[in-house]
Amino acid sequence: MQHLSIDLGTRSYPILIGAGLLADRALLERLLPQRNLLVVTNATVAKLHLQALLRGLGERNVATHSIPDGEQFKNLDTLNAIFDALVRARLHRDAAIVALGGGVVGDVAGFAAAIYQRGIAHLQVPTTLLAQVDSAVGGKTGVNHRAGKNLIGAFHQPCGVLADITTLRTLPERELRAGLAEVIKYGLLADVRFLEWLEGSLERLLACEEAALEFAVQRSCEIKARIVATDEREQGQRALLNLGHTFGHAIESATGYHDWLHGEAVSVGLLMAARLSARLGWLGDADVERVRALLQRASLPTSAPQVGAARALEFMAMDKKVQDGKVRLILLPRLGEARVSSDYDAGKLRATLQEFLGP
């Protein structure tokens, strides 16, 4: 088992990564001493992994609540239903929420924990690759608004993250590939040697080889934990973690959150960020082709012509990184290094949008 920690003073917490952790009673007792719990999950994940987690939680007062499965349910109605379940179970401030599932469950359950009775504890138990490397770590919680993704939310750090690699065995291949987009993101923004390792290990990752997955989750979490520890509330450096996301969110918003997986949209966004960086004279064309090749080997999409540049720009205007009317973008001075920039040529942005998203 890999034991990392995210250093946030009194809000520090462990990230445990390994196989077969869900049913480890001693581990769960240490991570989560609360006796009264609400496990929030969905029917898909519950069928596969809830029994193991309930064994791990042992003899406590545990209620469970299932939310509907899908990004389109990451909304205020789903949040309200969690509050109803918390009230029905008569849970108070000494209770905790356990989020068992992918990023949707983690984000909405984490947000419920952030505001129920002004904040209760929660444990993230991510079961998708994307959630293990990204959404479960760092305390961003929230729901979508029809005007854009994650527009309503709060920073609320969990008391721990339990990433059980074994749960990834049941993940549909398309979801695994989408999670790989976020893993590739870390290599691009912070660690070119990790990018090289990914290029050499892609087949092992796609075959769900445990050791390869464990290392990919560990390295991704190390990079994320380091960045979040320096900038918990995204005043600066943390925005780097959004490499590819401004473009990706525009694709998701324009397509109504159901056709595209988040990681798939991020995949196109990563390539767009690389291409715009090349247009600005930072990356070389060979770097852009290297990024494209890796995404394509992972069978991830590299364009979204149905979106349209004009519509994408409308959604980008709602991005949380807009400052003084200009969208700040995460760009790549070189592979393995990222920078936040609002100092880019609008024409080059438009050309990039048109190249990947159509007119």
Instruction: Catalogue the active-site residues.
Output: 118, 140, 182, 224, 234, 238, 242, 245, 249, 262
Distance, in Å, from the CA atom of 354 to the CA atom of 359, rounded to the nearest integer, reads 5
Q: Which stretch binds ligand NAD (CB under 6 A): 77-85, 134-142, 190-198, 281-289?
A: 134-142
CA neighbor of 316 nearest in space, from 326, 303, 304, 306 = 326
Residue 242's binding partner, choosing from ligand NAD, ligand GLY, none, with beta-carbon cut-off 5 to 8 A by kind?
Answer: ligand GLY
The verdict on 269 binding ligand NAD (CB under 6 A) reads no
Q: Nearest Cα to 206, choosing from 163, 173, 168?
A: 173
CB 52 within 8 A of CB 24: no
Contact stretch for ligand NAD (CB under 6 A) within 69-77, 213-221, 229-237, 269-277 = 69-77
140 part of the interface to ligand GLY, by CB under 6 A? yes
- List the structure tokens of 216: 């990919």
Angle between helices 192-206 and 210-230 (to 10 degrees): 140
Q: Does residue 141 belong to the site contacting ligand GLY (CB under 6 A)? A: no
CB nearer to ligand NAD: give 56 or 101.
101
Minimal distance, residue 304 CB to ligand NAD, in Å: 17
Contact status: 255 vs ligand NAD (CB under 6 A): no
Within 10 angstroms of residue 309's Cβ, the number of other Cβ atoms is 18
Considering the rule CB under 6 A, would residue 329 count as an interface residue with ligand GLY?
no
Interaction between residue 134 and ligand GLY (CB under 6 A): yes
* Distance in angstroms (rounded) separating the CA atoms of residues 186 and 110: 23
Binder of residue 253, out of ligand NAD, ligand GLY, none (CB less than 5 to 8 A by kind): none
Closest residue to ligand GLY: CB criterion: 241
**Alpha-carbon distances of 137 from 106, 133, 177, 258, rounded to whole Å:** 10, 7, 19, 24
Q: What are phi and psi of 100, to 5 degrees?
A: -110, 105
Which residues in the 166-195 window bind ligand NAD by CB under 6 A?
167, 170-171, 175, 178
Query: How many residues of this chain bind ligand NAD (CB under 6 A)?
Result: 30
